Structure 1
Amino acid sequence: MQNNLGKHSRVTIAGDEINLDRLREVTGDKPTYEMLMKHFHIPPQKYFNMATDTVDKNAGGSASDRIALICDRDDRSQVTYSYQDLAALSNNLASFLQKKGVGKGDVVACFAGQGIESAMAHLAAYKIGAIVAPLSQLYGPEAVRHVLQDCNPRVIVTEQLLWERIATTVEDIGIELAIISDNKEITKNRLDFQSILDIPASRDFVSAKTSVNDPALLLYTSGSTGMPKGILHRQGLLRGYLSSVSLFYEMHMNEEGQRLWTISDWSWVAGIFNVMLTGWYFGHAVVAGDQKFTPSWTFSFLEKHSISHCFLTPTALKRLAETKDPRGAWPGIALRAIGTGGEPLPAAVLEWGQRELGAPINEFYGLTEVNHLIGNCSRLWSIKPGSMGRAYPGHTITVLDENRVPVKDGVVGEIAARQDDPTLFIEYWQNESRTRAIQHGEWILTGDYGYRDEDGYFWYKGREDDLIKSAGYRIGPAEIEDALVSHPEVVEAAVIGVPDEDRGHAIKAFVSLSNPENASDQLVTELQNHVKTTLAYFKYPRIVEFVNQFPLTSTGKINRKELRRQENAQWN
C-alpha cells in the first residue's frame, strides 16, 4: 500500500499488537478508525507455535520471573506460576507425552476447569505438534462421550472430580492414557497429573517447529442438529486474534502489569483467546478462577486480584449492572476495559460500565469458525448501542443477498467474511461436505443475518437456522430434544429460544407425554434435571410447556419456525 508515510506505511502485529503509540507513529496524533483500516496489515509468517511464541518467548526474556498464572479455586488455595515455571512444567509434560508416543497430529483431550491442568494440556500439546481438544466442564457424561468418540484422543488430561463423573461412561472408548489431578487410583494407564509434572523433561527435548497452518486446536460447539461439532484450527490462529483483543481491551496490551480474567470456560474462544493465550503472548498475568457466578463473588474476585481486563457475557454484565455503587462496596476494583459478545448489550449496561466501574465495555461479534470479525474500541470510535460495531482491521466483512451478491448499506442479508480471514478455521472435524457448505466463492457464510449502516456499523437481525443464543452460549435444540425424549415419560419434544431480558434468549421446551395426565410441576423439575445431567447445566430448558400436538411442516417435521412465531407474537 503506497502513501507518503514511508517505512511506517502499515501498522502490523509482527511481534507487536495495535497500541496507541505505534498507531500515532503511523497516523498522527489523532488516529481514526479509517486510518487504522487503511494502514493495518498482518505480515506473512511461515512458522508459529502457540506455546513457544507465547510462554516460552517470555520465559526466555526479561519477563521470565514475571507472574504468568494465578490459580484461585473456591478460596481453598492460591498458587502462582511465573513464565519460567510454565515453560519448564509444560516441557516436562510435553516430553512425557512424547515418550508415550504422542506426537504431531495426535489429539490430546482436556476436560478441566480454569487452572494449571488446562494450561499444561494446551501448552504441552502445542509444543509436540499435537491437537488439543478442550471439553467444557459443564458437559454431562453423554456429551463428553460423544466428543471423545468423535476426536479419538490418545490422552485425556482431567481432574479427579470430573473424571469420576465420566469414567464409567467412557471406559469402553479406548483412551490410552488418563492424566488426572488429585488421582486417587493410580494404575498403569491412569496417572497422577502432579507426579508427571515433577518428572524433568529429557535433556534432548525440543519443541516442535510448527507451521502457521499445522492443526493445533479442536473446539467443540453446538450445531443446529445433534451433539457438539468439532471445529479444527491452526497454530497461527492466535495471530489473527491479537489485533482485535488489543482493540476491545482499549489498546492497553503493550503496557506492563495487566491482569486478565474471564468467568467463561477455557474450553471456548472466550477463555482461550480473549484471556489465556493472548495474555501470555503479551507477557501479562492470567488469573484462573471459575466459581459459580454471582454478582457479589464476581466483584470480590475482580477486587481481590486487581483484574484490569476481562471478558464477561452480556448476561453476566446485566446481572452485575443490578448492583448499585459497586466501587463503594469494592473500592479496590481496578478494571480498565471489558470485552463482551454473544448478544446485543443494552445501552443502559454500557453506560453503567463507564459510570460505575470507569471501564468501557466493548462488544464484538464472530463465530467459532471465523471470529472477532466486528466490534468496538471506544478509544478510537464511538459505540452505537445495539450495534455489533465495525469490521475489525484484518477482516473483510460484507452482507449478501439470497443470490450471494453483496447488498447496499441498510439492506438485510447474510453476514459473510472473506476466505482469507486471519481467524478462519481449517475444517469441520472430518466433515468435508459441511466445511464446503459454508463456503461460497470468496466468502465464508456465517448463517447470521443483519445489515451495515451508512457509517459502517453492523446490526444483528437473526439467524437462518435454529441455533439458540443464550447467555453467550450457542446451543443446538436437537441435542436437548434428544435428551428429553430419552426420558421414559416423553414421547416427543421441540426446543426453541424465547426472548429473555437477562440471557438474550431462554431455552423453552414443548413436550408431549405418553400419559398427559402425568404433567406436573414436579415432572418439569425432573425433566430439567434430566437435561442438566445428560448434557450440561447451561442447556436445560428454563421453560417447559406440555402440549398434545405440534405444528408440522409439509414434510411432517416439527415446525420450530411456527413455534417461534407464536412465542414472539405473545412476547410482543
Structure 2
Amino acid sequence: MADDGTGYAGLMRDFRWNLPARYNIGIDVCDKWAAREPDRLAVLRRLPGGGTERFTFGALREASDRLALALRRLGVGKGDRVAVLLPQSPTVVTAHVAAAKLGAVSLPLAVMFGPDALAFRLRDSGAKALLLDEGGLAKLDAIEGGLPDLETVISVDGQRGAVLGLDRLLVQAWGDFAPVASGPDDPALMIYTSGTTGQPKGAVHGHRVVPGHVPGLRFAHPDLGLAGDLIWTPADWAWAGGLLNVLLPSLSLGVPVVAGLHAKFAADDALALLSDLGVRNAFLPPTALRMLQAAHRPGEVYRTALRSIMSAGETLGPGTFAWAEQAFGFPVNELYGQTECNLVLGSCFQAGVSRPGAIGKAVPGHRVGIADDEGGECPPGEIGEIIVEAPDPVMFLGYWNNRQASEAKYRGGWLLTGDKAWRDEDGYIHFVGRVDDIITSAGYRIGPGEIEDCLMRHPAVAAAAAVGAADSLRTEIVKAFVVLKPGFAASEDLTADIQAFVRARLSAHEYPRAVAYVDALPLTASGKIIRQALRERD
C-alpha cells in the first residue's frame, strides 16, 4: 500500500487515544449495542452436530443484568473477584459483562486447569464467587484444604447441594439494575500469567484494557466491522489471547463472535467450522496454524470466507508464515504482546507492514523500543529487550498483592517485557525468545523460534520445541523435543536425518545435537510451549 496517509506512517501519525472519564466494559461491549440494535447478533454458538444458536445483544443485556442482580443479592460487590471456569459459550460473556457492570473483578480460568492450578488461583485471588459446569465441579471437589474466601458457587448444569443453579438464579432475579459509574482505571479483570517459571501472578487490568486492545485488533483486521462479519478463535476465552484479542474488543465494535465447541483442536474440525459458518476473521495461534500445516495436503488452497488472520502468542516463523500465505491466499498478520501489556507490536499486510520472520512494527497508539542491559536503545541488528513506554491504555494496573513484582516490571518510564528481539534497518522487530529461553552455545546466543520453525518443515515432524541442554564444552547445546506424524517411528537414522535437515537449513551451531521423541509437548493454557518443563527433563 502506498504511504499516502492510508499506510502505516499515516496510521501512526493520525492516531489519538480518546478515553472517556467514565467507562465500563459491560456498557461498551453490551448495553450500548443493545440500546441501538437489541436484535443484533452478539454470539453465534456452534452446537454438537453442526447446528448453531444465536445470542443477541438484547439477550446479553437481559441475562447480564439479571446475573448482576443475583450476584449483588448474594453479597458480591465492587472489587470482589468473580471467577469464570467455563468453555466458550454465551454464559462466559454474560458473566464478564455482569461482573463489569457490578463493579466486580472477573477472573477467567482455563477449563484445562487441574485442581492444583485452580486452587492456587482461587486462593491467591480470594475469589468470592465462581461460575462453572459439571467438569469444573469435579475439579473443585478434588481441591484439598478448602477455599475460605469462596462463598458462592454457581453451576450452569443446575442445583446440587450448596451449589446454586444458574438458570434458577436468573429466573428469580428480576428488577432494575444500573451499572456502577466506573472509570477507565478501575479494576475490571484479573488474568493470571502463563507461569512458565515460578507461580503465576495475577495481572490486574482496568476497564480501559478493552479500548486499549481495539487498535491492535483493527491493525490485524483493518476492515473489521463490515456487514456480515463474524470472528472466531479456538483459543480459550480465559486466556488474554481469546478474551482480549477477540471476544471483548470485537463485541465493543459490534462484531459477533463464534463460540466453538470445546474440544481438542483438530484441523478438519477447524476448517469445517470456518467453512460452514462463513467466518471472515480469525485469531489462530501459531500452534493451531502449525497443526493445520501438518495436516495440509501439498498444493491445497483452503476455500473459506476468511479475509484476515491474526496470530500471536509465539513467533510464527518464516516457514509457517509462507505456508499459511499459500494455503489461505493472503499473509497472516502476526502480533505480539503479553498478559501485562498486549497487542503493542504487529504486522498488517494491508497497510504495507509485513515481513516473513518479523513480528512487525509498533501498533498505532503504542511506543515500543529495544533496550540493552543499561536501558539504552539498541542499534539495528543488536539483540535487546522489548520495552513499552508507560503509561499505555493496554498496560496492566499491577500484579495482585505483589507490589515488588509490579515495581520490578518498570524501569525509567518503560515496561519491561522480558522478551528478547532485534530491529532490522527497516524498523521491523524480530522476536528471539524469552530471556530464559535463550540458548547460549559456544558463544552464540540462539533463539528457539527459528529452530522450531525449521523442524516443523521436516516431513516427519508434527510438533517440535527447542531448548538448551547443559554441555561442558559449549555451555549448552540445542536439544529438540519432537512429536512425530503418524507413520513415522523414532530411530537413529531419523534423528540423523532431522539433524542434517536443520543443519543444512540453518547453521552448524543451531542444529539440535540431541533429539528426544515425545508423545506431546507441554503447553500453557494459552498454547505456549512450557520450555522450562522440557529443560527439567532428563
**TM-score bracket for this pair, using the shorter chain length:** 0.7 to 0.9
Q: CA RMSD in A?
A: 3.4
Q: Can you list the C-alpha shifts for 1:464-493, whole angstroms capped at 9, x where unaligned? A: 23599xxxxxxxxxxxxxxxxxxxxxxxxx
Q: Give the structure 2 partner of residue 71 of structure 1.
A: 45
Q: 2:134 aligns with which of 137, 141, 160?
A: 160
Q: Give the structure 2 partner of residue 193 of structure 1.
A: 166
- TM-score normalised by length of structure 1: 0.76
Mapped pair 1:127 → 2:127: no
Q: Is the 8 A contact 1:508 1:543 kept in 2?
A: no
Structure 2 residue runs of 5 or longer lacking an equivalent are 440-447, 457-462, 471-489, 491-517
- How far apart are the structure 2 equivalents of 1:537 and 1:181? 29
Mapped pair 1:439 → 2:407: no
Q: 1:56 aligns with which of 28, 31, 35?
A: 31
The one-letter amino acid of 1:408's match is: P
- How far apart are the structure 1 equivalents of 2:316 and 2:220? 15
Q: Give the structure 1 partner of residue 475 of structure 2.
A: none
SS at match of 1:31: coil
Q: 1:138 aligns with which of 97, 103, 112?
A: 112
Superposed displacement of residue 78, structure 1: 3.5
The one-letter amino acid of 1:86's match is: L
Mapped pair 1:257 → 2:231: no
- How far apart are the structure 2 equivalents of 1:424 and 1:234? 9
- How far apart are the structure 2 equivalents of 1:125 and 1:314? 31
The one-letter amino acid of 1:54's match is: V
Q: Can you list the C-alpha shifts for 1:518-570, whole angstroms capped at 9, x where unaligned? A: xxx9xxxxx999x999xx997699969975xxxxxxxxxxxxxxxxxxxxxxx
Superposed displacement of residue 165, structure 1: 2.3
- How far apart are the structure 1 equivalents of 2:397 and 2:13? 27
SS at match of 2:21: coil
- Matches for 1:282-361 after TM superposition, within 5 Å: 282-289=253-260, 290-324=262-296, 331=303, 333-361=304-332
Superposed displacement of residue 277, structure 1: 0.8
Q: Can you list the C-alpha shifts for 1:369-415, whole angstroms capped at 9, x where unaligned? A: 11111101110014111011011111111111111122223222111
Superposed displacement of residue 346, structure 1: 3.3
Distance 1:274 1:156, change over 3 A: same
Q: Is the 8 A contact 1:509 1:543 kept in 2?
A: no
Structure 1 residue runs of 5 or longer lacking an equivalent are 1-19, 469-495, 511-520, 522-526, 548-572
Distance 1:170 1:199, change over 3 A: farther
SS at match of 1:153: coil
- How far apart are the structure 1 equivalents of 2:531 and 2:374? 37
- How far apart are the structure 2 equivalents of 1:399 and 1:156? 41
How many matched pairs? 474
Superposed displacement of residue 74, structure 1: 4.0
- How far apart are the structure 1 equivalents of 2:533 and 2:124? 29
Q: Is the 8 A contact 2:63 2:94 kept in 1?
A: yes
Mapped pair 1:41 → 2:13: no
Superposed displacement of residue 508, structure 1: 9.8
Superposed displacement of residue 422, structure 1: 2.0
The one-letter amino acid of 2:218's match is: S
Distance 1:412 1:168, change over 3 A: closer
- How far apart are the structure 1 equivalents of 2:438 and 2:338? 12
Q: 1:505 aligns with which of 456, 465, 469?
A: 465
- TM-score normalised by length of structure 2: 0.80
Q: 1:390 aligns with which of 361, 373, 398?
A: 361
Percent identity over paired residues: 31
Q: 1:107 aligns with which of 81, 90, 94?
A: 81
SS at match of 1:246: helix
- How far apart are the structure 2 equivalents of 1:497 and 1:328? 26
The one-letter amino acid of 2:45's match is: C
Q: Is the 8 A contact 1:509 1:541 kept in 2?
A: no
SS at match of 1:404: coil
Q: Give the structure 2 partner of residue 172 of structure 1.
A: 146
Superposed displacement of residue 90, structure 1: 0.6
The one-letter amino acid of 1:221's match is: T
SS at match of 2:113: coil
Structure 1 stretch 66-75 or stretch 111-120: which is displaced more?
66-75
Structure 1 stretch 109-118 or stretch 189-198: which is displaced more?
189-198
Superposed displacement of residue 345, structure 1: 2.0
Q: Can you list the C-alpha shifts for 1:423-482, whole angstroms capped at 9, x where unaligned? A: 1100011100001111111111111111212211101223223599xxxxxxxxxxxxxx
- How far apart are the structure 1 equivalents of 2:38 and 2:438? 44
Distance 1:546 1:309, change over 3 A: closer
SS at match of 1:345: coil
Q: 1:268 aligns with which of 222, 228, 239?
A: 239
Q: Is the 8 A contact 1:497 1:507 kept in 2?
A: no
Q: 1:92 aligns with which of 62, 66, 70?
A: 66
Q: Is the 8 A contact 2:19 2:208 kept in 1?
A: no
Distance 1:544 1:59, change over 3 A: same
